[in-house]
Amino acid sequence: MSMRSGEGLSRRSFLQWSALTAGFGLLAGGTATPAWAAPGGVPQPAQWLVTRWKDDPWARGAYAALPAGVAPKVRWTIAEQLIRRRVAVAGEFTDWGYPGTVQGALRSGRLAAKLLDEDGVGVSGRRALVIGAGVSGLEAATQLAARGAEVTVLEARDRVGGRIRTDTSWGTPVELGATWIHGVTGNPMVPATRAAGLSLSPADYSFDTRSVDTGSYAPGADQVRSDLGEYLQAMEDADPARRLSVEQWLDQNGWSASDPERAWALNTLITQEYSIDPDVLGTHAYLEGKDDRGGDAFVLGGFQRAPEHLAASLDVRLESPVASVSAGKRGLVVLETDGTSHRADIAVVALPHPVLKLGVVRVSGLPKASRRGITQLRTGSLERVVLRFDEPWWTASGITAPGIGLVGARWSEWYDVSANTGIPTLVGFCGGRAADGMPATDTGVVTEAVSELTRAFAN
């Protein structure tokens, strides 16, 4: 993630946290009453949505982070290596300036088109294929077309947007994927959202924190989280050994998760920022990327309209999953999973990191350095549960901040997004191994989440 630890308290890189369409079996919603009887001041939600990005065959998780022992340069190594001067790889995981963000995805698409034009066989007059209609693929296709290529985009899903996913089943836009723009100053996603008719609202990540063990406020947790932020800043300033994980460096310097409040701080400030746990995340994850400027903002009006706007003038073929891409000296062949083949001169492979790492799509001829970099990066999990209530019960319970921290809970980080949806709505997050171990059924997820909220508001 492209985060400087001094700004870590206000960063949320949620490209990845989304349910998908029913055709891929990952969008979960409900209106029936699940089998719980919530005591205290927490009522049953009227509706809910649960995400399972880690199970989506065309996502396989959230976004790519640097594990211990891996240098940030792996990203630009992947981005700048062409296959036979005809195929470029794009995606947030290849952007060394703003990895883990929608901005990084868009920038990677621009770079891919530029490299094919300037370092490859050229673009003007060429037949081009783009694999993937997320932001990186759509931007690559836009840039290739502007440079004179005849472009076709192949997308496995029945929609564009990739890990941007807006649900409208409640009659209002609910973000299940990317939700925020990080660093609005100079961010190319700002004009992209405005061109789609969307607006931005300044983000506030402050918390009222409660404990599920005591059922009351946990005012010390926020101070613990602030102290951890100072440790992370010191870690960045120290330029630590690349072999160390964040957890190892913290242990060596006297900070360990010795109680629930410290575990909560690790979850919300590290794991749910990077999608992988501190014992896996490398210290150099805090040394990569450029500083964000201008603060963060919510995207209002349905973020998915932005990629839809990008796709409006392109030849995008939905429900066209690709099995393989192979390049020769005179051209390339892209084979769809149904056996349909496409011939072209150049291509951009704009797929999520684990889809390439796991060989879901086989890309022949990747340079050794690119293959090694793709293997070294680590994509983790970040999932969300969205609960709609008839009334905003949390404000009656004394919550004044937009964020609710739950110490001792799997769903440890909640936000009141009612102002965005127009209805009483809470969205909760869990990441890393906690997300991998979430209940297998959506009713189970909702039952667990409401139980944790109920315990936290017992007093």
Q: Are 93 and 99 in contact (CB under 8 A)?
A: yes
pLDDT at 40: 55
- How many CB atoms are located within 10 Å of the residue 360 CB? 17
**From first to last of its 459 residues, what are the pLDDT tens digits of the chain?**
222 223 333 333 333 333 322 222 233 445 444 444 344 569 999 999 999 999 999 999 999 999 999 999 999 999 999 999 999 999 999 999 999 999 999 999 999 999 999 999 999 999 999 999 999 999 999 999 999 999 999 999 999 999 999 999 999 999 999 999 999 999 999 999 999 999 999 999 999 999 999 999 998 999 999 999 999 999 999 999 999 999 999 999 999 999 999 999 999 999 999 999 999 999 999 999 988 888 999 999 999 999 999 999 999 999 999 999 999 877 888 888 999 999 999 999 999 999 999 999 999 999 999 999 999 999 999 999 999 999 999 999 999 999 999 999 999 999 999 999 999 999 999 999 999 999 999 999 999 999 999 999 998
Residues 6 or more apart in contact with residue 442 via CB below 8 angstroms = 28, 29, 30, 48, 50
pLDDT at 291: 83
Residues 6 or more apart in contact with residue 321 via CB below 8 angstroms = 58, 154, 156, 336, 337
pLDDT at 292: 83
Q: Are 4 and 291 in contact (CB under 8 A)?
A: yes
| Torsion angles phi and psi, residue 128, rounded to 5 | -125, 140
Residues 6 or more apart in contact with residue 174 via CB below 8 angstroms = 49, 166, 167, 168, 386, 421, 425
> What does pTM read for this prediction?
0.90
Query: Checking DSSP bridges between strand 322-328 and strand 362-363, what pairing results, if any?
Result: parallel
pLDDT at 30: 53
pLDDT at 329: 77
pLDDT at 11: 34
| Closest by CA position to 384, among listed 168, 176, 122 | 176
